[in-house]
Structure 1
Amino acid sequence: MKIAVVLSLVAAVLARDHGNCGCAVDGNYDQELTEFACKFWVTAFPNTHWDGYSCVDKGYHRGIDGTAFEAFCKMQFKDISRGLESRVKGRCWH
């Protein structure tokens, strides 16, 4: 149990936050899916906003956790298209 807690803390410290994130389906950037995921993300992280192409949070000492955002992409894809979540990846930069 202690090892799992330590590993999760290390992973959280090593996780890199990004200024922009989006969703890709089958390797292709999906702007519509990104918009749905971003609008849902904003409800939990109000400093983030949709800029018409990607989800953005470029504040000082802030950003978007790429792993968590990918989970939002997968969840929205599953809800919208009832497709296989394995087809979806998060794509983050900056």
Structure 2
Amino acid sequence: MLDNGIICALRIDGQIAAFFEGFKDEQSILIPRLAIDTDYDRYSPGLLLCTEAIRNCYKVGEIAKFNLLRGTEKYKYDLGGITYFTNNIEIDLRSV
């Protein structure tokens, strides 16, 4: 983990089966990108990766929330996620 960045990967037989990247914000880890290799779908590599990352963050004690951000994918709810609404703001700096 860097100062506020995080990259984690799950390897199966030496191959990357899933990875995520994100950043730390106060006591949360926010994960905007999670990808899996579909050759390993049967192992649910994204779910395994998130489970182990959450377990590790809990042991360290620094992180209170693990946020997988936008989307309603099933695995997010399988991990105990809840739906919340996000406001989007667009600022046009060309008109300032």
Give TM-score, length-normalised by structure 1.
Answer: 0.32
Which protein is bigger by CA-based radius of gyration? Answer: 2
Which structure would you say has the larger RCO, counting Cα contacts within 8 Å and 6 or more residues apart?
A: 1
The structure with the greater share of residues assigned to helix is: 1
Structure with greater proportional strand content: 2
TM-score where L is the length of structure 2 = 0.31
